[in-house]
Amino acid sequence: MAVGKVGNPVCGDLMYMYIRVKDDRIADIKFQTFGCGSAIATSSMTTELVLGMTLDEAMKVTRTDVADALQGLPPIKMHCSNLAADALHDAIKSWREGRRGETPEPPKVGEFGSSCGIPVSSPPAIEGADVLLGKGVYRKVEDPKSFADKRVLIIDRGKPSVDIALDLTKHTGRVIFMSPTKEPSSKDDPRTGLKRSDVKVIYEAEPLAVLGEGEVEKVRVHDLNENDEYDLYVDALVVLEQAGN
């Protein structure tokens, strides 16, 4: 048996694909998926597609093949089909590289979160945020007027952070909202309201570190789409506390 494992840190889906090979064909395949219904459906369909295939044939299965077999997926869920194909390919690579018989320990609840319905873990810590807490880094916004004319970066923590971003536009014209996910396609997503506002929105990005001598000067940002880093100059960083903290 060989195991493939892939995960998406943005949406939180995590997939394991287990294969048994006989005469260079997939004799048996099973999956274990932590994620939304689409993630589970794509995992299941992938196992049905490739059972009995040669390893070379299975390596050619793409996200499009998986989505087509399911008669299409919503655009926002297409990444699930990509993960399923990647997990399959990773399992085949494990087999070919001789990494067999390895059974990974399933993640603990909350260890690998999901915006698709699985409990979400706390976001990664932002380097330097604790040092500059109260010196440009804020866990809550008690007086929006104190941000007047400042360059404010607000990190996506759901609807409360969206509400704060919109409220701050009454006091400053330089509000930036940053989210690790892609631009929402659903009108029910609270972030859609940002499109009709003066808020500048940056999708598929996350803060790595906050920098400054005694006060916030800039935030180092990881561009998740380009896998690159850049510095964003701001006067304030708002990172709301997670519910329950």
Q: Which domains does the chain have, with CATH numbers?
A: 2-96 (3.90.1010.10), 137-238 (3.50.50.60)
Sheet holding 14-22, edge to edge: 2-7, 14-22, 25-34
Provide the mean pLDDT of the chain.
82
Overall pTM surpassing 0.85 (yes/no): no
Q: Which residues of 177-201 are buried (b: 16+ CB within 10 A; e: fewer)?
A: bbbbbeebeeeeeebebbeeeebeb
pLDDT digits (tens, 9 = 90+) for 183-227: 877 777 889 889 889 999 999 889 999 999 999 999 999 888 777
Q: Please state, in angstroms and rounded to a whole number, the distance separating the CA atoms of residues 1 and 23.
A: 13
pLDDT class of 80 with cuts at 50, 70, 90 = low
Q: Please state, in angstroms and rounded to a whole number, the distance separating the CA atoms of residues 61 and 45.
A: 11
The catalytic residue positions are 11, 80
What is the mean pLDDT of the segment spanning 168-190?
A: 88
State the pLDDT at residue 73.
64
